[in-house]
């Protein structure tokens, strides 16, 4: 099983590094996948889907339906704003719930963009990284300033996060396990932690001051309750579940500061005490059998949970309205790889799904 997982993960890594180089619709490839990539929306909780791909340009309306979606980021103040990063096409953003998309000019209009962070109180201030450099905009993506760079070829910046509380410092997380913070908009940085493990994500709680989570690729989850000064590992709690240390996604509860979700090779786990103990969500697929990269919980009803599971080349959308006791399934709107899922924070019926194009097999 582990060898099969490694092969699957190797394929996903190719997706994130090599695809998304053009903005056209795809009909099929040698993997047996078909259909467009880009973004879709459902206004009836996943019963039906509509593609949202309009990219207005000076020479006409283009499309993002050939763009592989790597990550999706929200604006903490504007529920209609979304930012998507891609492995080859830079970043895109929308201020109208995805009806139209835009792309910033400058260094983030092409190539791999790994992460975006929006200031908690000023939506025109954002940070973004292509792995090698960290950029800041103070004018709603019209212009960018480089505020840091990583010169080591074997290290890259993979995550950015704002402290949601004053003084609103910005954090960056690197693949070698370093966490840095800046109190002056990125002019100066200081290392606050060196994990010496492969760090892939950093998440700050908007509900509890100084609560941070550091996500490792294959070593589980770490928690800080003092703004990153000290950390506690919950690795031993996760090890009780087979392959649960192999990270896929991590999510916070919208209203309960102590509740978090951990999605791994094993499946979906929930904790109501910040990771000190975990409860398994019973899925229709056996543990370890489905790759889950899209996961969301209705912010207005924690019993409504959604995820997308992929087995081989086939993906399904799963939904529960009773906290996981009963699951129903629906087809996904494309044969490409479902990579992100978002439940709208204020419109209970609206869900977004993003797709990446898998690499062709020879």
Mean pLDDT of 330-359: 96
Helix (H, G, I), strand (E, B) or coil at 246: coil
Distance CA 221, CA 213 (A): 7
Express as a percent the part of the chain with pLDDT over 70: 90
Question: What domains are defined for the chain?
Answer: 2-356 (2.130.10.10)
- Predicted pLDDT at 13: 45
pLDDT at residue 21 above 60? no
- Ordered alpha helix ranges (H), the chain: 2-18, 235-238
pLDDT at residue 194 above 60? yes
pLDDT tens, position by position, 90-143? 999 999 999 999 999 999 999 999 999 999 999 999 999 999 999 999 999 999
> Is the preceding omega at residue 167 within 30 degrees of 0, hence cis?
yes
Phi, then psi, of 358 in degrees rounded to 5: -65, 155
Task: Write the DSSP symbol of residue 225.
Answer: S
pLDDT tens, position by position, 81-96? 999 999 999 999 999 9
In the block, tokens 């201030």 appear at 125
- Predicted pLDDT at 33: 66
pTM across the whole model: 0.90
- Predicted pLDDT at 208: 98
pLDDT tens, position by position, 266-321? 999 999 999 999 999 999 999 999 999 999 999 999 999 999 999 988 999 999 99
Numbers of helices and strands, H then E, in the chain: 2, 29
Sign of the CA dihedral running 199, 204, 250, 340: negative
Q: Can you say how many angstroms the Cα of residue 329 is from the centroid of all Cα atoms in its chain? A: 22
């Amino acid at each position: 099983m582990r060898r099969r997982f490694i092969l699957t993960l190797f394929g996903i890594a190719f997706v994130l590094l090599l695809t998304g180089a053009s903005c056209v619709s795809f009909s099929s490839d040698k993997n047996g996948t078909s259909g467009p990539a880009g973004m879709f929306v459902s206004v009836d909780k996943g019963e039906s889907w509509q593609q949202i791909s309009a990219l207005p340009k000076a020479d006409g309306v283009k499309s993002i339906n050939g763009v592989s979606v790597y990550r999706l980021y929200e604006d903490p103040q504007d529920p209609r704003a979304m930012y998507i990063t891609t492995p080859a096409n830079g970043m895109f953003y929308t201020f109208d719930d995805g009806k139209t998309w835009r792309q910033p000019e400058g260094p983030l209009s092409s190539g791999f963009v790994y992460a975006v962070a929006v200031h908690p109180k000023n939506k025109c201030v954002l940070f973004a990284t292509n792995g090698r450099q960290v950029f800041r905009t103070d004018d709603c993506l019209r212009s960018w300033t480089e505020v840091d760079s990583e010169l080591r070829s074997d290290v890259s910046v993979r995550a950015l996060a704002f402290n949601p509380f004053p003084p609103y410092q910005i954090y960056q997380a690197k693949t070698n396990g370093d966490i840095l913070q800046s109190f002056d908009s990125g002019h100066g940085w200081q290392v606050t932690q060196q994990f010496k493990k492969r760090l892939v994500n950093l998440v700050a709680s908007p509900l509890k001051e100084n609560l941070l989570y550091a996500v490792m690729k294959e070593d589980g989850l770490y928690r800080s309750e003092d703004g990153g000064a000290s950390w506690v590992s919950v690795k031993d709690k996760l090890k009780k579940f087979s392959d649960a240390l192999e990270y896929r996604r991590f999510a916070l509860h919208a209203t309960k500061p102590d509740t978090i979700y951990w999605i791994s090779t094993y499946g979906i786990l929930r904790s109501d005490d910040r990771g000190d103990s975990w409860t398994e969500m019973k899925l229709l697929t056996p543990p370890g059998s489905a790759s889950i990269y899209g996961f969301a919980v209705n912010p207005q009803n924690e019993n409504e949970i959604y995820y997308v599971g992929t087995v081989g080349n086939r993906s399904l959308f799963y939904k529960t309205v009773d906290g996981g006791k009963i699951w129903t399934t629906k087809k996904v709107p494309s044969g490409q790889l479902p990579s992100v899922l978002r439940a709208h924070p204020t419109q209970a019926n609206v869900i977004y799904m993003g797709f990446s194009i898998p690499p062709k097999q020879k």
